[in-house]
Structure 1
Amino acid sequence: MTEDDADESALSRPQRRLLRRIYNGRTEPVVIDGRPFLTFREASRYLLTLPDDARDAAYLEMKRQAG
């Protein structure tokens, strides 16, 4: 298991799968807290820096913007 895999495991499997779908081939960034995200890796790293409540809120906002 790589370091990235261990870090990403803090997100649930369904969350990781949805984020990968959201960011696959994205050309317009999803903006959360004034920060643009174009890739799954950028988004997941950001989410992992947040406390649980803020992480859930940011994840839901990413999901909303992608829809």
Structure 2
Amino acid sequence: MTEESDPALGRSQRRLLRRIFNGRTEPIVVDGQPFLTFKAASRFLLALTPDAREQAFVQMRSAAVRLSGGADA
């Protein structure tokens, strides 16, 4: 099974998502949907195609950096 056809998130993506959403009080908005928890964000990402998933993950990471003042993620 290739990584491209694997529907699960990679280990590094899961770890970063957990860091991003740990104790979050301000939601991260991607495609008009607010995400406040790791579980909600990962469910959303897993429902996407691999290309769309990567784009949404990048948006989440960028939003986390922007909301934290650029110090984390």
Segments ≥4 residues shifted beyond 4 Å: none
Which structure features the higher share of helix residues? 1
In the other structure, the counterpart of 2:38 is: 40
The TM-score with structure 2 as length reference comes to 0.79
The TM-score with structure 1 as length reference comes to 0.86
- Whichever of the two has the greater Rg, that structure is 2
In the other structure, the counterpart of 1:60 is: 58
2:14 is equivalent to residue 19 of structure 1: no
2:28 is equivalent to residue 30 of structure 1: yes
Alignment size in residue pairs: 59
CA RMSD of aligned residues (A): 1.0
Gaps of 5+ in 1: 1-8
Percent of residue pairs identical: 63
